[in-house]
Structures are given as structure tokens and as C-alpha cells.
Amino acid sequence: MNNSRALLVIIIILFLFTALTVKLVEIQIIKSEELTYYAKMQQTKLETIPAERGVIYDRNNTLLVYNRNDVSINLDLRMIPENSKNILAEKLSSTLGKSKSHYKKLMNQSRKTISIEKHVGREKAFRLINDINISALFTVEKPTRVYQYGSLASHVLGYVNSEFVGVNGIAKTFEEDLNGDDGAIIVERDVLGRIITTIQDNEVKAPIPGYNLNLTIDINYQVILEDELKRGNEFYKGESATGIIMDPNTGEILALANVDDYDPNYYWKFSDYQRKNKAITDTYEPGSTIKAITLAALLDAGKCYESELINVENGKYKFRNIYIKDTHKNNYLTVSGILEESSNIGISKLIQRLDDDTYYKYLRGFGFGTYTSITLPGGVKGILKKPNQWSKLTKTFMSFGYGVSVTPLQLIVAYSAIVNGGILYEPHILKSKTDKSGVVKYESSPIVIRRVISEETSARVKKILRRAVKNGTGHLADLEEISVGGKTGTSQQIINGKYSRQKYHASFIGFFPADNPQLVCLVIVNSPQTEKYGGKVAAPIFKKIAERIINTDLKNFQQREKYNESKTADEHILKTFSNNDNKNKISNASYVQGNNELKKNFENNLMPDLKGRTVREALISLNLLGLKYDIRGSGIVVSQSINPGIRVKQNQVCRLNFSEAIIKGANIY
């Protein structure tokens, strides 16, 4: 019996030994190559080497955005005993700052590997791992995108999400350029999946860093714009504010800001509304700022001239069963005065001289109703209906800024065309891009879209816009050091389908130096509470922005200042007075020659008595004395701001008040 059991045991052992021998032969000889292949596949893996993301500079090579070589601290839960988790959590809490319960909760997950902390400084992470000294704790490269100046220019720059992918702004538009091409490397891992070593062979691919970008933004201008927008918005109790500074001669955006803004370093703490670039995504009805564009179209089409007098109905005008009103009551204004006083009545009368198709052509030519092609995401076209969709009132209301909606960027691009000689440029934000070695791969240049108005028309409108600041509704934007031109705007907002009497857009768009514009700046305040008019809200903000910018390089701006105030009397009319022999056109010479008292006054630079004179006669007198004028009313002169017999100087301003009665048969210009 015992022998039988012993024999059975021997047989079983022999069987097992034989089976083991067969299996070893299979593994070592028959399937050796196959199993070796699978073993290598398990132990080695092709790892991606992320390309270094390109950095971003302003136009003067000031660093705005860069990468910090942080790491992520990971923990392999398979290698940490349950009874050690409490001690580890306590050590992590004391070093990294978060609560002990936070780390214990992380370690109670079912995953094999967890991330204890992301974006930790390399030195701090390695010090922690050395102090704790357990193999379960290891680091993984996790670069951090750093926005050097926090919220500054956030709507231009955008941000990267947790996957290091660009969202919004430059980060999104130029994602491919910034991101570069990832590389690859083969690594060998142990049984727990940890990297033991890298394998150098021909399959390794080196990463190609992304391009570095230089923007057109000037960081100094950006700081000034944001500072003054925030102060102004707070002072006037606005809901939000937007500002843009642009070079009208190239289309370069020098600064762009929205209040509220956000910090791209902590983008998740801010709402979608705060992260939205309202300068290009939101539209509004521009109000009186569009009057300069309307007037440019009229002048360019030869439908009016600057000194022509228009009856503005003492501030209230009935047109097709609706009333158009002016803030300032006047009986007559010159065409130039209509823009200076921002007369809705005056511009609505003038626009009737331009047919619908021609007016639409000019508005479309200035870029309204179409994309600006700015290399920032989210831009919209605004609203510009075609003439076949217009009612009998559409053109009239569009002439002073209602019935058409624009983005802030569209408006400043259009104004740039007005003041730069009539050329519409494509706005752009990227100045150049270079590779890691500093080789320039792209450099921007101005892109001309079209000529909108003639150079002569541009010069004429610039002078009128200068007077709108010097003598008109934009006077709170005027500077002592440099001449400024510009236009105010106030428009009611549409709330629930109706125009609100509580919510307005207060705006001002200005440029300087006035005769040789180098900068155009737009300021818009949404729903200010203390004031509602653009001239009282946005114009003072513009002035502070302009003063600070000019003070950064006063000498440069003074060298560019070529502006000389033009004589207020229209040269075309004065030439007509001098050259036309028609009895209705009196020449300067004959007018003075026939009046000994006037002749004596002009020879001695004495102010004549203009009471009872017509507009035409008064203009001739003021022109011969080299004086400027401010006309109020119509008919004949009833009073003058400079008393008769007073010695006058060149370029003094004389205000003339006219009676309401117009002398029958008198020619009014």
C-alpha cells in the first residue's frame, strides 16, 4: 500500500516536471521571439515630449506671456499601505498648504495613480519628495503658462485651459503657431509602470518649439488705457467700459481693453461675460459719432460745403410725422456747426441730399455691416440693412446713429479712414513671429482694403472735427499741448425692444495731433449713472488717456504737431466774394473801398460795428481782420462779443448773434 502511494507521488512529480519542461521549451525556444516582443511592448512605450509653447511680447519686446517649468506631484496608490495614508496626508498638508482631509480624500479614490498637486515649482516638488522619501511619490513635467501682468490685456491675450490649449484671444487664434510640434521618445518602465530609463535610437523625434509672437500692443499705452477706463467707469458709475487705441496710418491696434476684465492666470474664477472681448463681439448703435461719417459722405459727394447755413428749427423739427430734437437750440448753423453742436436736425436735413444707394455705399465702404478681419476670435458684422429694406425713416435716423449697429472696432477703423487721408486699413494685432533661434518667420505690413473718401475730403472733415473739440460738444477732450479732433456720441440702448430713457452708451472718439493724426482713441461707457452724454463722460476720460500718452513722449508728438487752425470763414465762399462780378456777390475790395469807416478799422486792426450786417458782410469783415467766428442765429447781426473800436489780434474768436428775422432778398451762406 505504501509502495503504491509512493509510486503515485513519483508519477505525479514526473508529470509536473515533464509539463514544466515542455512549457519552458515552449517559452524559451518555440515562442521565444514572440514573448520577447510582447515583453518589450509592456516594458517600453513611445512617450510624447510636449513642444515648448511660444512666448508673447508687446511691440517693444516687453515679455507678456511665458512658460514656467513646473511639475505635477503624482502618487501611485498601489505602493502606499492603507495605514500610511494618514501620515502621508499630514506631511503633504504641512508642505503644500492644503488641509489634511483634502489629501486623504484624494487617496481614497479607486484609481491606480492620482495627482496630488499640479503646477508645483520644480525645486519645491523635489524637496518634498526627498523629505518624504517614498517610492510611491513621483513627479511629471507640467509647465505653467504665466501671464506676467495679470489681467493686463487679458482680452487680447486669451488664456490656455487645463489641457494647455489656447482659449480666447491670441492664444486661440495662433494656437498652431504657439504650440509647435510635439516630439517623441521611447522609455522603459518597471512592473508598476514607472519610467526606469530612456532608450536612445533612431525613432526618437525632437520637439519643435512654437513661434514667439510680437504683438502690435504697446504695454505702456495698454496700462494707461486700462487705468483710465477703470477710473472713469467707477467715477461715472457705468456698468462697463471699452476702449481702443489705434494707429490710423497702419491699422495696428496699440491697446484694447474692456472693463470688467479677468486674470488669465486664474481664468476659471471669472464669468464668461468678464472673459468676453466686447470690443469685437458686442454691437451698439453709435449715436452722434456716426455724424462725422455721414458728413464725410456728403462732402465727398459734393452735396454741401462747410459754411453753408442750415435752418435747424430752434431745436425741434417735424419730419414725416415724427419729431427730431436737438440738445442745443439754434435757429441756423453752418454745416461745420452742425457737427460742432451735434445737431440731429441739421444732419437729418443734409442726408436727404444723398440717395439711399449712395449713402449705403459709403457706410459699407467704411466697413459697417461686414467683418473687420481682425485676428481675434468672436468678431461680428454688426447690422447695416440694404436700401431695399429701409423704411422712409431709416436713412434719416441712420444719419445720426440709430438703425445701424457697429462694434467698437468697426467704428475706430472707420474713423481712422476719415483722418488718415481716406484709406480703410485692415486692423491687425500681430506684428511679427519668430522661431526659437530668433529668425523672423512673419512680419506684418499695412493692408489697404479700399479708398473710401478723397484726401481732400479727409482734410476737410479733420478740420471740422478739430472745431468740434475746440468749440463744440467735445471741448472737455481738448488739450493744451497738442491739438485734438474728435466727436462725441450719446445713444439710447434698446431694452426689451424699446429705447430706454435710463440706459445710454456715452462715447467719444478722438485723434491727435489733429492735422497729422498718429493715434485714434475710442472710449465707450455703458450705462453711466452720474451723466449720460458722451461729451461729459467719455470725452474727459479720453483727455486723461491722451495727456498721459503724450507725456510719455511729448517731444515726438510736438514734432508731429503741424496743425494750424484754419480760418473759420469758408475759403470757397470768400474766393467767390472776391472773384464773382455778379451784383449779388460783393468783392472784399469793393466792399471795404466803399466804406471809409470799415477801411479805417481794417488798417488799424480795430473791430468794426457789425450790427445790422448780413451774414455775408460779417464774414467778409471778420476774414479781412483774420478773426474766427461763432455764429448763433440767422438774419442780421444784433450783437457781437468784441465791442466796436477794440484792437483785435489774429485768430481771436468773435461770437455773432443774429436776429430771427431774415432780411428779404439777402443771400445767406
Candidate from 238-242, 298-302, 537-541, 609-613 with smallest mean pLDDT: 609-613
Candidate from 171-185, 193-207, 219-233 with smallest mean pLDDT: 193-207
**pLDDT higher than 60, residue 570:** no
The CATH number linked to 584 is 3.30.10.20
Q: Are residues 319 and 359 in the same domain?
A: yes
Instruction: Indicate whether 535 belongs to any domain.
Output: yes
Cβ neighbors of 70 (< 8 A, separation 6 or more) are 118, 119, 120, 121, 122, 125, 142, 143, 144
**pLDDT higher than 50, residue 566:** no
The pLDDT of residue 71 is 77
**pLDDT higher than 60, residue 577:** no
The pLDDT of residue 185 is 72
Of 117, 141, 165, which residue constitutes the final position of a domain?
Answer: 141
Q: Are residues 415 and 543 in the same domain?
A: yes
Instruction: Indicate whether 13 belongs to any domain.
Output: no
Q: Are residues 415 and 472 in the same domain?
A: yes
**162-192 pLDDT tens trace:** 888 999 999 999 999 999 888 777 666 555 5
Q: Are residues 181 and 281 in the same domain?
A: no
**pLDDT higher than 50, residue 571:** no
The CATH number linked to 158 is 3.90.1310.10
The pLDDT of residue 574 is 38
Candidate from 285-294, 397-406, 461-470, 576-585 with smallest mean pLDDT: 576-585
Percent of residues, the chain, with pLDDT higher than 70: 86
Instruction: Indicate whether 548 belongs to any domain.
Output: yes
**470-503 pLDDT tens trace:** 999 999 999 988 999 999 999 999 988 889 989 9
* Residue of 61, 62, 114 lying closest to 92 (CA atoms): 114
Q: Kindly calculate the radius of gyration of the chain based on its CA atoms and give it in whole angstroms.
A: 37
Distances (CA, A) of 406 to 95, 255, 358: 53, 19, 19
Backbone angles phi, psi at 419, to 5 degrees: -100, -10
Cα 464 to Cα 515: distance, rounded to the nearest angstrom: 11
Instruction: Indicate whether 10 belongs to any domain.
Output: no
Of 498, 529, 560, which residue constitutes the final position of a domain?
Answer: 560
Q: Are residues 111 and 242 in the same domain?
A: no
Instruction: Indicate whether 174 belongs to any domain.
Output: yes
Instruction: Indicate whether 8 belongs to any domain.
Output: no
Candidate from 5-9, 385-389, 467-471 with smallest mean pLDDT: 5-9
Instruction: Indicate whether 177 belongs to any domain.
Output: yes
Q: Are residues 184 and 247 in the same domain?
A: no
Cβ neighbors of 305 (< 8 A, separation 6 or more) are 299, 335, 570, 572, 573
Q: Are residues 635 and 526 in the same domain?
A: no
The pLDDT of residue 180 is 85
The CATH number linked to 489 is 3.40.710.10
Cα 77 to Cα 116: distance, rounded to the nearest angstrom: 11
Q: Are residues 105 and 128 in the same domain?
A: yes
SS (HEC) of 316-379: EEEECCEEEECCCCCCEEEHHHHHHCCCHHHHHHHHHHCCHHHHHHHHHHCCCCCCCCCCCCCC
The pLDDT of residue 562 is 52
- 260 cis-preceded (ω within 30 degrees of 0): yes
pTM (predicted TM-score): 0.76
Beta bridge partners of 519: 512
**130-152 pLDDT tens trace:** 777 777 777 777 788 999 999 99
Question: What stretches of 528-637 show up as alpha helix (H) in DSSP?
Answer: 534-552, 554-560, 571-579, 588-593, 596-603, 615-624
**pLDDT higher than 60, residue 197:** no
- Strand order from edge to edge, sheet including 113-120: 113-120, 71-76, 137-141
Percent of residues, the chain, with pLDDT higher than 90: 55
Domain range for 648 is: 571-658
Q: Are residues 394 and 275 in the same domain?
A: yes
Q: Are residues 285 and 395 in the same domain?
A: yes
The pLDDT of residue 1 is 53
Q: Tally the domains of the chain.
A: 4
Instruction: Indicate whether 25 belongs to any domain.
Output: no
Q: Are residues 59 and 134 in the same domain?
A: no
- Strand order from edge to edge, sheet including 212-215: 144-147, 63-68, 56-57, 212-215, 430-434, 440-443
Q: CA-CA-CA-CA torsion for 77, 78, 80, 85, nearest 10 degrees?
A: 40
Cα 368 to Cα 391: distance, rounded to the nearest angstrom: 19
**57-85 pLDDT tens trace:** 999 999 999 998 877 778 777 777 777 77
The CATH number linked to 115 is 3.30.70.2110
Q: Are residues 231 and 262 in the same domain?
A: yes
- Cα atoms in the 13 Å half-sphere on the side-chain side of 587: 9
**pLDDT higher than 70, residue 641:** yes
Q: What is the secondary structure of 580-599 as a DSSP string?
A: --STTS--HHHHHHT-HHHH
Of 560, 584, 601, which residue constitutes the final position of a domain?
Answer: 560
